[in-house]
Structure 1
Amino acid sequence: MELLGILSPPWWLLLLLLPALLLWAMHRSPWEPHKCPADLTGKTVIVTGANSGIGKCVAMDLARRNARTILACRSQERGQAAVEEIRAATGNPAVVLRLLDTGSLASVRAFASAVLREESRLDVLVNNAGVTGLPFAITSEGLEQTFTINYLGPFLLTNLLLDLLKASTPARVVNVSSFRHSVGTADSAFLTGQRCPGGYDAAYNSTKLMNVLFTAELARRLEGTGVTANALSPGVVSTSIMRHFSWPVRALFSLLRPFMKSAEQGAASTIFCAVSEEAAGITGKYFDSSCRLALPSAAARDAALARKLWEASERLTGLTEQGHPPAPPPAAAGAA
């Protein structure tokens, strides 16, 4: 009886409430997309990797804001299913699918050519597509597949669409990174597989560091153009990104799901960077999963490293051979 008395309210109630409060605090964001009044009527947006997870939630939100929403997906079947779902949920008929595999530079070029041919403007580009858990492999183009999908493909895509973004100002580039960038290494030899970072996690972490470095250098090169570029972390989110891992890892991931954000919650920081008034005019920055400005790792703030990575990426994607406009000289105070 004494034991029953101890377990009766309020102690038993507190034992139930504490985990619930912990989960609520972890998932809560001070900025909520549904409270943002931004209207994108007459604007065009592209979201890569938009057939599932965070990308689909971002595309859903932008379509609700009346944007012409282009889902850039690798799978025709899954991409078209997402298009139909978003059209039905938002009532926006201007939601379309365009095939894109960021792991293939040829696919990136074909996609960009179609966009430049068919679209008169581009107001927001969301580089969301990404993978983890893929084995080390060299593509037919001589590039390592994870680094190409997560970093080099988006790098090329953004550069090919820059003129259209500049013609549509104010415009935004949003690069989805991760808090795990802080333990990554930005070695350009990883891009061609000359060196291997040492595992699935290490490869993913390094691509996310490269995303932040790319964002910083892109913002520097775009100063004064009216196009902003920012990177962000969505937080720890329950999505299908772990599908390439072994079943024990996926099982552990499933056990931890109650402590993770949903895809919809994880999309908040991406949507914040894409449409919020608070982010307007901010460029070259990194936002955390609570939509707050955060200081990225020391490596991510290395301007010399960012320029070196950019130059290597230009060579590997062939942008230098295309007569890509030269970079502005670095500011004296920004030399690393």
Structure 2
Amino acid sequence: MTTPTPTSSLSTTSGPMSGKTVLVTGATGGIGKATAAALIQQGAAVWLVGRNPEKTERVQTEIGAAGHLIADLSLRGEAAGMARRFAEQVGQLDVLVNNAGAIYDSRQESKEGIEMTWALNHLAYFIVTQELLPLLRVSAGRVVSVSSAAHAFGKIRWQDPEFKTGYNAWTAYGQSKLANILFSRELAYRERETGLTANALHPGMVASGFNQNNSGLTARLSALAAPISLSDAQGAQTSIYLASSPDVAGKSGLYFDKSHAVQPAAQALDDAAGKRLWALSESYL
């Protein structure tokens, strides 16, 4: 872990996001990087979160980000610590883009002993957002969480969310993406009086660095799909829209695809499950 690069949180570029501060996780490649770059072009002061110090610093320079933070978001302590350092040293946040995520061919655990899909794709969203809520409430900010159409085959395994038995890469991934929507909806409900908004999205099938950590069937499927997949810039469009468009001001608890609100699968609309997931997530803190 390192402390944030000490640069100003204010952008010198004029544009529709001028004066806004944005934090993007998983921002060193793929749609995270494309989202960050586009919001910088709109005038926002964008902070990047990445795992690799050299790569993250290089991307910051390349796209003109305001600063960066280093953290392995699969680790609860690092996720929380990163958010606290940002709050202490930047002190302003208008948009949080929860973007970091992965899929794992075989069951893996973090250094804390938590199954990696659950740790990175869901708990990191929950922990980072929780730590940054005070700043987001002040700004009546936006929380944008990247989910996936894969949520439709997801089901929360309440007794075994970490797949200690019966692990399957796509089943674990679908559960995590369902959790992203349930989390967004419950957050929207809890913050309904503060002005803070929370929405989730499907980026589309994107030909990016996602899934390159694998070498098995999931990687082969991604390679086969690459010719018909979206570019990073195309896949980032809904994230950019939710982070910046005046059209979604005040809209919360929704799920978007192609920059339009659409209805997610029935299990993502289960309010009781959202509250149960919140309590389960808190048990990891």
TM over 0.5: yes
- AA aligned opposite 2:262: A
One-letter code aligned to 1:179 = A
Q: 1:256: Cα distance to partner?
A: 2.7
Q: Is the aligned partner of 1:179 residue 2:149?
A: yes
Q: Distance in 2 between matches of 1:285 and 1:252?
A: 29
Q: Which runs of 4+ in 1 moved over 6 A?
A: none
Aligned to 1:158: 129
In structure 2, how many angstroms separate the alpha carbons of the residues matched to 1:205 and 1:249? 13
- The answer on whether the counterparts of 1:217 and 1:306 sit within 8 Å (CA) in structure 2 is yes
Are residue 209 (structure 1) and residue 186 (structure 2) matched? Answer: no
> Aligned ranges for residues 121-270 of structure 1 at < 5 Å?
121-169=92-140, 171-196=141-166, 198-246=167-215, 249-270=218-239
- Within 1, Cα distance between the matches of 2:283 and 2:217? 40
Partner of 1:75: 52
2:9 corresponds to: none
The answer to which of 62-71 and 204-213 deviates more is: 62-71
Return the match for 2:33 from 53, 56, 73: 56
Query: Given that residues 86 and 95 in structure 1 are in contact (C-alpha distance below 8 angstroms), is that contact kept between their aligned partners in structure 2?
Result: no
For structure 1, which segment, 175-184 or 94-103, has the greater mean C-alpha deviation from structure 2 after superposition?
Answer: 94-103
Using the TM superposition, give the Cα deviation of residue 172 of structure 1 relative to its aligned residue in structure 2, in angstroms.
0.2
TM-score by length of structure 1 reads 0.77
CA distance in 1 between counterparts of 2:188 and 2:217 reads: 41
Structure 2 residues without counterparts, runs of 5 or longer:
1-13
For 1:98, which of 57, 69, 74 is the aligned residue? 69
Instruction: Give the aligned residue type for 2:69.
Output: R
Residues 178/252 of structure 1: CA separation in 2 closer, same or farther (3 Å cut): closer
Among 20, 42, 45, the alignment partner of 2:19 is 42
RMSD of aligned C-alpha atoms?
1.7
Conserved in 1, the CA contact under 8 Å of 2:105 and 2:217? no
Cα distance in 2 for residues equivalent to 1:190 and 1:140: 19
Tell me if the contact between 2:101 and 2:121 (Cα under 8 Å) persists in the aligned partners: yes
Query: Larger % of helix: which?
Result: 1
* Percent of aligned positions that are identical: 37
Aligned twin of 2:10: none
Question: CA shift at 1:101, angstroms?
Answer: 1.6
CA contact (8 A) 1:237 1:266 kept: yes
Work out whether residues 189 and 195 of structure 1, in 8 Å CA contact, stay in contact via their aligned partners in 2.
no
How far the C-alpha of 1:79 sits from its partner, in A, is: 0.9
String of CA shifts for 1:282-336, please: whole Å, max 9, x gaps: 0000001x1111100111000001100110101112xxxxxxxxxxxxxxxxxxx
Number of residues of Structure 1 aligned to a counterpart in Structure 2: 272
1:295 lines up with 2:263 in the alignment: yes
Deviations 1:224-269 (A, max 9, x none): 1010000000011101112123266545533432211101000001
Amino acid at match of 1:230: N
| Cα distance, 1:186 vs structure 2 | 1.3
* Distance change (3 Å), C-alpha of 1:252 and 1:70: same
Which of residues 43, 58, 61 is equivalent to 1:66?
A: 43
Q: TM-score, normalised by structure 2?
A: 0.90
Is the 2:155–2:178 contact (alpha carbons within 8 Å) kept by the matching residues of 1? yes
Match of 2:272 in 1: 304
CA distance in structure 2 between the aligned counterparts of 1:314 and 1:248, rounded to whole angstroms = 34
Q: Is the 8 A contact 1:138 1:192 kept in 2?
A: no
Which residue identity is paired with 2:36?
A: A
Structure 1 residues without counterparts, runs of 5 or longer: 1-36, 88-93, 318-336
Aligned-partner Cα distance in 2 for 1:298–1:248: 28
What amino acid is aligned across from residue 187 of structure 1 in structure 2? Answer: R
